[in-house]
Amino acid sequence: DGRLRREGELQTSGYVRVRGAREHNLKNVSVDIPRDALVVFTGVSGSGKSSLAFGTLYAEAQRRYLESVSPYARRLFHQMPVPEVDDIDGLPPAVALQQQRGTPTARSSVGSVSTLSNSLRMLYSRAGDYPPGQGILYAESFSPNTAEGACPECSGLGRVYQATEQSMVPDDSLTIRERAVAAWPPAWHGQNLRDILVTMGYDVDTPWRDLPKKDRDWILFTDETPTVPVYAGLTPDETKQALKRKDTPSYQGTFSSARRYVLQTFATTESASMKKRVARYMVSTECPLCRGKRLRQEALAITFAGLDITEVSRMPLERLADLLQPYVKDGAGTGADARSRAAAHPEQAIVTQRIAADLCARLTVLLDLGLGYLALERSTPTLSPGELQRLRLATQVRSSLFGVVYVLDEPSAGLHPADTEALLDALARLKAAGNSLFVVEHALDVIRKADWIVDVGPQAGEGGGKVLYSGVPEGLRDVEASHTRRYLFDDLQDAAHAPARAAREPTGWLRLAGITRNNLHDLEVAFPLGVMSAVTGVSGSGKSTLVSQVLVDLVGAALGQAAPEEEVEEGAELEREDIVPTLGRIVHDARDGAQDGMRGVRRMVRVDQKPIGRTPRSNLATYTGLFDQVRKLFAATPQAKKRRYDAGRFSFNVAKGRCEHCAGEGFVMVELLFLPSVYAPCPTCEGARYNADTLAVTFKDKNIAEVLGMTVDDAHAFFLEEEAVARPLQVLREVGLGYLRLGQSATELSGGEAQRIKLATELQRAGRGGTLYVLDEPTTGLHPVDADRLMAQLNRLVDAGNTVIMVEHTMRVVAGCDWVIDIGPGAGEAGGTVVAAGAPHEVAKAAASRTAPYLKASLS
């Protein structure tokens, strides 16, 4: 039923009382929040919901907990800063399930995060079928991450890496001086190796392919490491002379072959980017011994239901549950063989029954949360943040903790409305077990199920940070300042339904055929150009595979636009490299007289929620390019001209103008023994980032540091006459980011904020048309109000002659698109086909589509 919780319906054992919270933008907030309830924190993006739920409540719970553990153990936690708050009482211990982009280690997998792999190994160890004569193996022997289990040939990686002449010397027409040996370390170190070869008399100025094989082999593969005198900067002839004269060398250099360097760096470096760099010079093939299964032969010889443990780890959890189900009753499974065997080994049957029952119970929760298409072996870096959070949530549901507060960040992210019901069930189970749930959420279906709402706002940033309402949902109806209420109560505004707009006609079609990747098999899809399309479907149906992988790969290749260098997540990268490449093609022949193929697409842009930069050196003003204009204005002032300061002087990344003490960062790192390092404002510039001389120059009475401290709104008013600065600022205001400060560092921005900054930057460039914009769940992290603003901007792009294709779950947004492609019908192998494609009102009628009923409800 759609009824909201009313006064007098709440049961609680008491309240968490917050007094004087001032974290980030919170305005000295005092609020009482019930325990043992599903509490949803709402408000526009940037209003301060996370600052209250995570930055204050969770951070304080963690701080109290950590006070009780040893300093050594404390270091193992990702510690939150101590929150700015006067007092909190009634606060139980807290567990945070946050959306993390990038995950601990590449070797963590669905099986390890859920701990299901541990139980499965126990099952194989204790209840597996052993070949005659083989002794029993411990559970660890079934893990590729232990010495007992790992295949000795590939150390448990499943692949073997080799450095070959071809992989290390990609272009053999180059000479050594021209860096034929691409695998050599970069910069100085590489030159050093070349100079050593010069001393040793090797020819570094002949194309690689014309060198004798003996020399090539020695240079690439030798295990010798001779140390010789090096004369830096001398030509080969001069070097010969110098050696003859026994001149004092620049230094003694030690040679090491390219293979040695590559393999050693790969095996030992701690830096993910180094590892990625050298991996490029290796070829990997499936391990011939374990055939990619990563385990010792002894372990692979043990079977359960006729399968080795790797085979089981690779099947979708759904199938695994089916496989184990027959054993839950009496541990015997099905079939006459199995029955007689169980009769002969009753103890084994008991063990099998126990472990199978436990595994099945835990699998059920995962299946309920819509994760049945995942396999245990799937590595966590390949999961979306939403999938990972639900995986961790499912693990908690079975953990039988009670009296805990779970703090969750948009658990509905990545969930089709059909899957949201199951999510609500999982939350209800945690609550029924005696826990409290504090959830930051934008999805109206979740907010409607809340026992209690804390609405934060009214606006974002400085304009927000107040608690507008804290109470049972029905009471929010009367809070006029709240943006949330307009979406929650249908009768208050028609906002829950997409505004009617005449559907646009496609200007052409981009047809893809023969698509094979993940769960898509020889699929054919047509994307309309010049309109806005949404790709929908239950989670795991193949939307991201189709849009973020296949479409982006194929169009990128056709445009000669290499896939943008992905930011390196620590350790994550290598696992991704092994993913199978896309099979498929763009269909170029014209049909229906329309312009087909790539003719309507001149450029492709992905607008995602990845951070815009990882260092405080990148910020809103630098990323959007508007800071260049601001610096020019400062350089043009009479003061600056008199002192001969150019625009570079006003960059905190350039030595002449910045504060030298902190190198322009504005803060310095303070190392604390046993605790994570903390940042403190720079004592010299007090956080201004510039030196005193630079700060003496003013534009309209403000110095450059004061300008960086302005919000976008203030700066827009301040620079109103300066078109080149005011225009980008205006676009930022239009995407709802007027509250951000110009100097706000990239590291302090949320994913939703980063996404809108990228979009604003794009909007300034738009106008030419012919650009394909690809977005994956653009409304994640956005309040409905912000989602509406985003749609307005995207519509502007389409009206200017561009194409927008997005993966999306919010039906209000889907209903506002011109075209919908519904993928499914189910997840994993039960999905991967186009169930329906057409205008929203047509797809809403498709009988086989699980999206249809929800879409229908959103169409007015």
Question: Do 296 and 151 form a contact (C-beta atoms < 8 A)?
Answer: yes
**Residue 56 binds ligand ADP, judged by CB under 6 A:** no
Residue from 396, 539, 780, 803 binding ligand ADP (CB under 6 A): 539
Residues 518-537 interacting with ligand ADP (rule: CB under 6 A):
518-519, 537
**Residue 826 binds ligand ADP, judged by CB under 6 A:** no
Instruction: Return d(Cα 213, Cα 658) in angstroms, integer.
Output: 54
Instruction: Return d(Cα 664, Cα 500) in angstroms, integer.
Output: 50
Binding partner of residue 374 among Zn ion, ligand ADP, none, CB under 5 to 8 Å per kind?
A: ligand ADP
- Alpha carbon distances (Å) from 384 to 194, 448, 462, 783, 801: 44, 25, 31, 20, 31
The dihedral through the CA atoms of 735, 736, 742, 748 has a sign that is negative
Which one of 43-51, 398-406, 503-511, 596-604 is the stretch in contact with ligand ADP (CB under 6 A)?
Answer: 43-51
Which one of 85-93, 205-213, 279-287, 796-804 is the stretch in contact with Zn ion (CB under 5 A)?
Answer: 279-287
| Residue bearing tokens 């989670």 | 539
Residues in Cβ contact with 223 at an 8 Å cutoff, skipping those fewer than 6 apart: 257, 260
Residue 671 backbone phi and psi in degrees, to 5: -85, 130
Q: Given the complex with Zn ion, which of 308 and 713 has the nearer CB atom?
A: 308
**Residue 168 binds Zn ion, judged by CB under 5 A:** no
Binding partner of residue 151 among Zn ion, ligand ADP, none, CB under 5 to 8 Å per kind?
A: Zn ion
**Residue 520 binds Zn ion, judged by CB under 5 A:** no
Question: Do 353 and 329 form a contact (C-beta atoms < 8 A)?
Answer: yes
**Residue 719 binds ligand ADP, judged by CB under 6 A:** no
Q: Given the complex with ligand ADP, which of 128 and 461 has the nearer CB atom?
A: 461
Residues 317-376 interacting with ligand ADP (rule: CB under 6 A):
373-374
**Residue 733 binds ligand ADP, judged by CB under 6 A:** no
Residue from 242, 274, 289, 307 binding Zn ion (CB under 5 A): 289
Which one of 41-49, 228-236, 467-475, 624-632 is the stretch in contact with ligand ADP (CB under 6 A)?
Answer: 41-49
**Residue 579 binds ligand ADP, judged by CB under 6 A:** yes
Binding partner of residue 449 among ligand ADP, Zn ion, none, CB under 5 to 8 Å per kind?
A: none
**Residue 659 binds Zn ion, judged by CB under 5 A:** yes
Instruction: Return d(Cα 739, Cα 589) in angstroms, integer.
Output: 49
**Residue 828 binds ligand ADP, judged by CB under 6 A:** yes
Question: Do 376 and 142 form a contact (C-beta atoms < 8 A)?
Answer: no
Instruction: Return d(Cα 650, Cα 657) in angstroms, integer.
Output: 6
**Residue 779 binds ligand ADP, judged by CB under 6 A:** no
**Residue 381 binds ligand ADP, judged by CB under 6 A:** no
496: left (phi over 0), alpha (psi -120 to 50) or beta: alpha
Q: Given the complex with Zn ion, which of 661 and 845 has the nearer CB atom?
A: 661
Residues in Cβ contact with 679 at an 8 Å cutoff, skipping those fewer than 6 apart: 667, 668, 669, 670
- Alpha carbon distances (Å) from 194 to 203, 208, 263, 332, 649: 10, 13, 19, 67, 39
Residue from 5, 40, 51, 342 binding ligand ADP (CB under 6 A): 51
Binding partner of residue 537 among Zn ion, ligand ADP, none, CB under 5 to 8 Å per kind?
A: ligand ADP
**Residue 25 binds ligand ADP, judged by CB under 6 A:** yes
Instruction: Return d(Cα 46, Cα 28) in angstroms, integer.
Output: 16
Q: Given the complex with ligand ADP, which of 382 and 396 has the nearer CB atom?
A: 382
Q: Given the complex with Zn ion, which of 376 and 662 has the nearer CB atom?
A: 662
Q: Where are the alpha helices (DSSP H) in 535-599?
A: 543-544, 552-558, 573-577
Tokens matching residue 409 = 């960040």
**Residue 694 binds ligand ADP, judged by CB under 6 A:** no
Binding partner of residue 659 among Zn ion, ligand ADP, none, CB under 5 to 8 Å per kind?
A: Zn ion
Binding partner of residue 616 among Zn ion, ligand ADP, none, CB under 5 to 8 Å per kind?
A: none
> What is the separation of C-alpha 61 from the centre of its chain, rounded to a whole number of angstroms?
26
Which one of 551-559, 676-684, 693-701, 785-793 is the stretch in contact with Zn ion (CB under 5 A)?
Answer: 676-684
**Residue 206 binds Zn ion, judged by CB under 5 A:** no
Q: Given the complex with ligand ADP, which of 50 and 265 has the nearer CB atom?
A: 50
Contacts 24+ apart (CB under 8 A), 273-279: 273/568, 275/573, 275/574, 276/568, 276/573, 276/574, 277/186, 278/183, 279/161, 279/574, 279/577
Q: How many CB atoms lie within 10 A of CB 556?
A: 16
Residues in Cβ contact with 713 at an 8 Å cutoff, skipping those fewer than 6 apart: 733, 738, 739
Binding partner of residue 51 among ligand ADP, Zn ion, none, CB under 5 to 8 Å per kind?
A: ligand ADP
Q: Given the complex with ligand ADP, which of 579 and 675 has the nearer CB atom?
A: 579
**Residue 543 binds ligand ADP, judged by CB under 6 A:** yes
Which one of 537-545, 669-677, 680-688, 692-700 is the stretch in contact with Zn ion (CB under 5 A)?
Answer: 680-688
Which one of 28-36, 525-533, 542-550, 694-702 is the stretch in contact with ligand ADP (CB under 6 A)?
Answer: 542-550
Binding partner of residue 733 among Zn ion, ligand ADP, none, CB under 5 to 8 Å per kind?
A: none
Angle at 764 between CA 611 and CA 775, to 5 degrees: 45
Q: Three-state DSSP class for 755?
A: helix
Q: How many CB atoms lie within 10 A of CB 140?
A: 15
Which one of 198-206, 661-669, 750-758, 848-856 is the stretch in contact with Zn ion (CB under 5 A)?
Answer: 661-669
User: Tell me, what DSSP letter sits at residue 591?
Assistant: -
CB of 146 to ligand ADP, least distance (A): 24
Q: Given the complex with ligand ADP, which of 299 and 729 has the nearer CB atom?
A: 729
Give the interface size with ligand ADP as a residue count (CB under 6 A): 32
Instruction: Return d(Cα 833, Cα 70) in angstroms, integer.
Output: 54
The four Cα atoms 40, 437, 853, 321 give a dihedral, to 10 degrees, of 160
CB of 693 to ligand ADP, least distance (A): 29
Residue 6 backbone phi and psi in degrees, to 5: -110, 170
**Residue 810 binds ligand ADP, judged by CB under 6 A:** no
Q: Given the complex with ligand ADP, which of 99 and 256 has the nearer CB atom?
A: 99
Instruction: Return d(Cα 18, Cα 53) in angstroms, integer.
Output: 11
**Residue 512 binds Zn ion, judged by CB under 5 A:** no
Binding mask 452-491 for ligand ADP (x = CB under 6 A): --------xx------------------------------
**Residue 584 binds ligand ADP, judged by CB under 6 A:** no
Binding mask 110-149 for Zn ion (x = CB under 5 A): ----------------------------------------
Residues 739-768 interacting with ligand ADP (rule: CB under 6 A):
739, 748, 750
Q: Three-state DSSP class for 32?
A: strand
**Residue 682 binds Zn ion, judged by CB under 5 A:** yes
> What is the separation of C-alpha 512 from the centre of its chain, rounded to a whole number of angstroms?
27
Instruction: Return d(Cα 135, Cα 623) in angstroms, integer.
Output: 62
Residues lying near ligand ADP in the complex (CB under 6 A): 24-25, 43, 45-51, 373-374, 378, 382, 440, 460-461, 518-519, 537, 539-545, 579, 739, 748, 750, 828
Residues lying near Zn ion in the complex (CB under 5 A): 151, 153-154, 287, 289-290, 659, 661-662, 682, 684-685
